[in-house]
A and B are shown apart, each in its own frame.
Chain A
Amino acid sequence: MDNQNTRRNFLKTAGIALGCLGLAVPERVIGSGNKVLDAEGDTITLLTPGGQLVKVEKSKLKPAELPSLTENQKRGREGLPIRAWVMVIDLSKCRNARKCMAACQAHHQLRPEQHHMNTLQMQDAEHTAPYYMPKNCQHCDNPPCTKVCPVNATFKRSDGIVLIDNERCIGCRFCIAACPYSARVFNWFEPRDAEKYKDVVYDIEANVPQKKGTISKCLFSADLLRAGKLPSCVSACPNGVYWFGDQNEDAVTNGTTKETTRFSKLLKDNAGYTLMEELGTKPRVYYLPPKNRAFPFEGEMQKHE
């Protein structure tokens, strides 16, 4: 008899628990929906990929088929088929507007001191002219960083992008030590707007939400590329610095003017080069030299004596 009683009690509790779960599900669905932040009355507050909050009427929303975390991670590991993304940075156009950095930090939930994209002030030798140089992850074809990862968290995709899975990353920072371009950042503190992104499902292709104690890096805005859009830094530039495209198609498009040109011709005509090519890392980011600049250098070079 005692035995039966316990079983009955168990079933009863289980039933109640299941019922509660059932009640809780709709709430959970709203809570776990990608980028849904707050729901009250007839409107709902959403977070756009650009990091802005918008209010939308509930009746206008359609349920989207969002990939679950595992699907997202799996999908993110396979590159977009038949693509080989390349970026060309025209140093003769960069005048330190820093719009690329702002757009990048908004997109990838980065603190002000964290940079996937950073505009550096460069002077190669004592008597040479200083210039501005935007620098991001070079997305090397022979990446030193992915080879040292002990947990397979960072990897190179078939479309050329080097990504990091923050769910796998253990924060050992071997990759930071391996990267010759200092392209990776570590989340030493709680990321920017941590509270705002708390219920957002992790997107491996945007590194959002960021996780404290893990690495983050430039990912060519892989989530935007999947949607057929240019990376956020490329379209944010007001000065036509960035060209982005598919090397297989031999075409790159300027983010500012939307002009499309041949990738090989652009490099050939302007003597394009890659950073630290002597290391054999084979970067996918190319630079055009800072010649014929139509504006003055306004920064202040630091003297390291």
Chain B
Amino acid sequence: MKKKRLIIALMFLSAGFSTIYGQEWVAPESEAAVVNPLPFNNATVREGKAVYEKNCKSCHGDPGKNNPIVLTPPPPDMASEKMLANTDGSIFWKLNTGRGAMPTFKGTITDDQMWQVINFIRKFDPRNAGKLTEEALKKGTLAATINSDSTSLDITADFQGAPLAGVPVFVQVKKAFGMLDIGKVVTDANGKAIFRIPDGTAGNAEGKADFVLTFGDEFEKTQAEVQGIKVAKPVTDNPLARGNVLWSTNDRTSGWLLFAYFFVTGLVWLTILYIVIQITKIKKAGQKN
């Protein structure tokens, strides 16, 4: 009976799916006509790429590589003709609405982020070929030292002796499996900046932190490191290292527990022994009489 019901349910379900997926997913005309408010440039495409990798890539795969996850129907490749035939407005509408396995991203990412993603997808549109000129990466060198009382980093940014003014420098702390962003400073006219280490910056168990400084994406990859700066109190007491056992092999058992056990057991045995001695005494006394 249960099986029958399940089969019927499955039939209905599959019928439902086929009717949904049989139809083309078309945005209403008014929505499809909405124009992307963001300019199509390197900055928005770069932002869009970051949003795409975090929210979309797990299903849709890498654009142009046709490597989506296995789903029926398969999530379309972002660089496919079918995908790029959508207007910006209709992609925006689809991101907001969702259908079947494609969730709605309303509330998950902001409108701006959606437009950024759309710009990133448009990068693969052949109509946009040549529109994005790859800017040559700027060059620069970074140097940093810690000030005398370990509260701030003195940063110098220059290129071949000339100071780099008004350049953002990103500060990160090295952690076990990645880099933790802790802030950003902009260099002044002399190419110098002072980064105050925020209160509550966590170090490792020894209270020390390794700082890594980098320029933004428009620069060639370069970084400066300031290592082993004391930022917090070391963790002196590690409760995890204490053996936490009630009763186990002798070398792991707490002393008080072993003592208590042997003391009580000994007491019981002594009592029994005393009683046995007393009984034998009574017996001997009886034999005398």
> Which residues of A approach B to under 8 Å, CB–CB?
79, 82-84, 97, 141-143, 146-147, 149-152, 156-160, 228, 230, 238-240, 244-246, 248-251, 253, 256-262, 292, 294-296
Contact = CB atoms under 8 A, between A and B. Distances in A.
Contact of A159 (B98, B181, B240): B240
B136 interface: no
Interface string B89-128: 0000000001001011101100000000000000000000
Given A238-B69, A292-B107, A84 B240 contact: yes
B180 A261 contact: yes
17 contacts: A79-B240, A82-B205, A147-B246, A149-B248, A150-B248, A151-B249, A239-B58, A245-B177, A246-B204, A248-B235, A249-B202, A253-B175, A257-B53, A260-B177, A262-B202, A294-B98, A294-B103
A83 B176 CA distance: 9
Interface in B192-228: 202-206
B239 interface: yes
Interface of B: 53-54, 58, 69, 98, 101, 103-105, 107-108, 173, 175-181, 202-206, 235, 238-241, 244-249, 252
A232 to B, nearest CB: 14
Nearest to B175: A251
Given A238-B58, A249-B203, 8 more contacts: A156-B244, A159-B240, A245-B175, A245-B176, A258-B177, A259-B54, A262-B202, A294-B105
B4 to A, nearest CB: 16
Given A251-B175, A260-B180, A292 B108 contact: yes
Contacts of B175: 245-246, 249, 251, 253, 260
Contacts of A143: 244
A262 B98 CA distance: 32
A151 B104 CA distance: 54
Given A257-B53, A295-B101, A83 B108 contact: no
B203 A260 contact: no
Contacts of B58: 238-240, 256
A147 B243 CA distance: 10
Given A79-B240, A249-B203, A259 B248 contact: no
Contacts of A250: 202
Nearest to B104: A294
A153 to B, nearest CB: 10
Query: Chain A interface secondary structure, helix, strand, loop or mixed?
Result: loop
Contact of B241 (A158, A240, A256, A259): A158
A181 B238 CA distance: 25
A285 to B, nearest CB: 15
Contact of B244 (A79, A146, A248, A292): A146
B244 A246 contact: no
A239 B206 CA distance: 34
A257 B54 contact: yes
A183 B5 CA distance: 35
A262 B180 contact: yes
B186 to A, nearest CB: 23
Contact of A160 (B101, B204, B240, B246): B240
Given A84-B240, A149-B248, A158-B241, A294 B178 contact: no
Nearest to B177: A253
A276 B80 CA distance: 48
Closest 3 CB pairs of A and B: A82-B205, A250-B202, A260-B178
A29 B201 CA distance: 50
A194 B78 CA distance: 44
Contact of B178 (A151, A240, A253, A292): A253
A293 B231 CA distance: 38
Nearest to A150: B248
Contacts of B107: 292, 294
Contacts of A157: 240
Contact of A244 (B173, B177, B249): B177
B275 to A, nearest CB: 33
Contact of A141 (B181, B206, B239, B245): B239
Nearest to B246: A147
B101 A82 contact: no
A159 B240 CA distance: 7
Contacts of B178: 251, 253, 258-260
A249 B234 CA distance: 11
